[in-house]
């Protein structure tokens, strides 16, 4: 019977730990080869593509609400933009570079200010976590991304942007990404003064709509995997927040909403 000297065993396990530590970050979903600055350079191109495919407009009420939530995040010093997409399905999405889109159909369904703030906070959290450029990194790797970001081939870049926006690669979120966006979204809501119960109520409503009017929420559910368990987890997250007096609804919100009903 041979025995391995103790010192060798220790050296071997230390080497193994070192190897595992160097591998660990690669196996994580959070690899992002796009810098924050590069990400924000893409926003014009991405937005042009959305505007080519949908009728979009800015609304002062939506922008003010979005900016108020963004100011409570770690990317509050970056420029963000909020747009209404004139489309009757209940959908909202975030694209890289601080772009947040909310369908008029979703605004019509959000019964109170805190419900809309809940959707915005969730989308903003996808943005601060940079889930879109993580997905971009995973799908395309560095070679193609470098071409896109450095604008070496404008034709190819335009084609890639069309593909990124059109196929929904940038919003194909994992359940983990959803959990993170919910958790951060709740914290952002409390910090900016909105009642996070609105997020629970609205996601509950969307789940209910999935039974009664599935086509209306199909897009939202395809990009944001949602379950009853997720809604329960949000409720748990709310219980961990400090109790504060928080805004549930305002008359201004109902005026804003009436423009999209
Ligand atoms: Zn989501």
Model confidence pLDDT, tens digit, residues 171-214? 889 999 999 999 999 999 999 999 999 999 999 999 999 999 99
Grade residue 114 by pLDDT with cuts at 50, 70 and 90.
very high
Do the domain assignments include residue 23? no
Grade residue 168 by pLDDT with cuts at 50, 70 and 90.
confident
Q: Measured in angstroms, how far is the CA atom of residue 177 from the centroid of ligand 1?
A: 7
Distance CA 240, CA 243 (A): 9
Q: Measured in angstroms, how far is the CA atom of residue 37 from the centroid of ligand 1?
A: 23
Do the domain assignments include residue 168? yes
Contact 73, 124 (CB under 8 A): yes
Do the domain assignments include residue 6? no
Helices 43-53 and 154-167: angle between axes, nearest 10 degrees: 60
Q: Measured in angstroms, how far is the CA atom of residue 92 from the centroid of ligand 1?
A: 9
Grade residue 4 by pLDDT with cuts at 50, 70 and 90.
very low
Distance CA 223, CA 15 (A): 41
Please tell me which residue, 136 or 130, carries the higher pLDDT value: 130
Do the domain assignments include residue 2? no
Q: Measured in angstroms, how far is the CA atom of residue 133 from the centroid of ligand 1?
A: 14
Residue 97 has pLDDT above 60, yes or no: yes
Do the domain assignments include residue 47? yes
Domain count, the chain: 1
What pLDDT is attached to residue 7?
46
Grade residue 21 by pLDDT with cuts at 50, 70 and 90.
very low
Q: Measured in angstroms, how far is the CA atom of residue 120 from the centroid of ligand 1?
A: 10
Q: Measured in angstroms, how far is the CA atom of residue 147 from the centroid of ligand 1?
A: 28
Taking Cα atoms as reference points, which of 109, 13, 119, 24 lies closest to residue 66? 119
Domain extent, residue 155, equals 33-258
Do the domain assignments include residue 198? yes
Do the domain assignments include residue 160? yes
Question: Residue 124 is encoded by which pair of tokens?
Answer: 């903003």
- Give start and end residues of each alpha helix (H) in the chain: 6-27, 36-41, 43-53, 60-70, 104-109, 113-128, 131-150, 154-167, 175-192, 197-212, 214-223, 228-239, 251-258
Residue 3 has pLDDT above 90, yes or no: no
């Amino acid at each position: 019977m041979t025995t391995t000297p103790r010192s060798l065993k220790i050296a071997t396990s230390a080497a193994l730990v070192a190897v595992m530590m160097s591998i660990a970050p690669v196996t994580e979903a959070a690899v992002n080869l796009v810098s924050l600055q590069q990400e924000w350079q893409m926003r014009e191109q991405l937005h042009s593509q959305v505007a080519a495919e949908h009728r979009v407009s800015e609304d002062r009420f939506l922008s003010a609400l979005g900016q108020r939530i963004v100011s409570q995040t770690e990317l509050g010093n970056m420029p963000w933009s909020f747009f209404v997409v004139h489309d009757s399905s209940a959908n909202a999405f975030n694209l890289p570079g601080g772009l947040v889109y909310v369908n008029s159909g979703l605004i019509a369904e959000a019964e109170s200010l805190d419900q809309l703030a809940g959707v915005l906070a969730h989308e903003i959290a996808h943005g601060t976590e940079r889930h879109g450029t993580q997905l971009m990194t995973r799908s395309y790797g560095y070679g193609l991304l470098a071409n896109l970001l450095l604008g070496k081939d404008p034709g190819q870049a335009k084609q890639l942007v069309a593909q990124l926006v059109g196929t929904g690669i940038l919003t194909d979120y994992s359940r983990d990404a959803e959990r993170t966006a919910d958790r951060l979204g709740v914290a952002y809501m409390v910090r900016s003064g909105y009642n996070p119960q609105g997020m629970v109520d609205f996601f509950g409503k969307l789940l209910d709509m999935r039974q009664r009017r599935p086509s209306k929420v199909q897009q939202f559910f395809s990009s944001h995997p949602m379950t009853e368990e997720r809604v329960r987890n949000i409720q748990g997250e709310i219980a961990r927040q400090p109790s504060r007096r928080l805004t549930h609804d305002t008359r201004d919100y109902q005026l804003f909403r009436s423009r999209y009903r």
